[in-house]
Amino acid sequence: MTNVIYHQGIVEDIDGSHVRVRIEQTSACSGCSIRSRCTAVDSIEKLIDVTMPKDATFIVGDHVQIVREVSLGLHAVMWAFVWPLLILLFFLLLFIIWSGNEILSSLGAVVLLIPYYYILWLKRAKFKQKFLFTIKSNNQ
């Protein structure tokens, strides 16, 4: 199994050392031979901001590859879903034991997620540096 995920994309905009690349994210059934007749086919276009390597030159319209490590995706899932779920369950059980009121306990546990996501939002610059995409030309 490879440790890297590749996405094909097209350079949309260049602003100094930042490149904005348009990629098409498709569902798992996008490779199916009857996808043109199927209503379940799902594809979404996304714009990804990437820092351009110092020795690279790209122009708008270039076909490129966006590369990201699989482990970074798993870290993102941990921060966005797993940790909040554990916080929610821990405080839900703690509040139920402490108060005995399930409605207030569940409300209190959900309210405690607000500071968690606020802290993530405050640390977004650090996460932006950690969860980097790299860009490669299709000619390489």
* pLDDT of res. 8: 84
* Rg of the Cα atoms in the chain: 21
Q: At 74, which amino acid appears?
A: L
Question: Which run of H or of E encompasses 47?
Answer: strand 43-51
pLDDT in tens, 14-40: 887 788 888 876 665 655 666 566 655
Domain ranges of the chain: 4-137
CA-to-CA distance for 47 and 21, rounded, in angstroms? Answer: 6
Nearest to 68 by CA among 76, 80, 60: 76
Nearest to 62 by CA among 105, 95, 14: 14
Instruction: Grade residue 86 by pLDDT with cuts at 50, 70 and 90.
Output: very high
| DSSP-derived 3-state class of residue 19 | strand
pLDDT in tens, 37-82: 665 556 677 888 887 777 777 878 888 888 887 777 788 889 999 9
